[in-house]
Amino acid sequence: MWILSYLPDFVTHIIFTVGVVGTIAGFVLGFIPFIATYKLPIQIISILVLSFGLFLEGGLADQAVWQLKVKEMEAKVAEAKAQSAQVNTTVVTKILTKRQIIKEKGDEVITYIDKEIVKYDPTCPIPEVAINAHNAAAQPPTDLKK
């Protein structure tokens, strides 16, 4: 409620209290001479002030409930952010580990090729058509390049 952002809480309580006191004075203390003179104006103004005070008190109570909800939500968001950061760390660590394993496995195979397969290089020439077929398979389809 916008009006509560301008009014301090104690002003709301004062308005409400004035409304209550005024209403009691206007309706119960009519026998006092001063009050008896201004009885009707006191009653009308007191009812209006009491109504406004009640409205503000209701707003304050409602605002307190919502501020509690905001705090709860902020706590949940903070927890979610922590969980999210944990997921990020786990996923990044996992992908880096997987890549390292894949690289090491490839390096092992290449070491094996350099050690064992090279022996067959002189006796096992690869025809050009086989190279062309390999290169064609390694290239992405032209439609995908667009």
> What is the contact surface with another protein in residues (CB under 8 A)?
1-3, 55, 58-59, 62, 66, 69-70, 73-74, 76-77, 79-81, 83-84, 87-88, 91-92, 94-96, 98-99, 102-103, 105-106, 109-110, 113-114, 117-118, 120-121, 124-126, 128, 130-131, 134-135, 138-140
Identity of residue 126: I
H-helix segments, 28-38: 33-37
Q: Smallest gap, in angstroms, from Cβ of residue 32 to another protein?
A: 33
Q: How far apart are CA 128 and CA 82, in angstroms?
A: 57
Q: Smallest gap, in angstroms, from Cβ of residue 9 to another protein?
A: 16
Q: Which residues contact 33 (CB under 8 A, 6 or more apart)?
A: none
Between residues 8 and 119, which has the closer beta carbon with respect to another protein? 119
Between residues 11 and 77, which has the closer beta carbon with respect to another protein? 77
Q: Smallest gap, in angstroms, from Cβ of residue 34 to another protein?
A: 32
Q: How far apart are CA 28 and CA 19, in angstroms?
A: 14
> DSSP letter at 120?
G
Between residues 25 and 49, which has the closer beta carbon with respect to another protein? 49
Distance of CA 105 to the CA centre of its chain: 42
What is the three-class DSSP state of 31?
coil
Q: Smallest gap, in angstroms, from Cβ of residue 125 to another protein?
A: 7
Q: Smallest gap, in angstroms, from Cβ of residue 111 to another protein?
A: 10
Q: Which residues contact 45 (CB under 8 A, 6 or more apart)?
A: 22
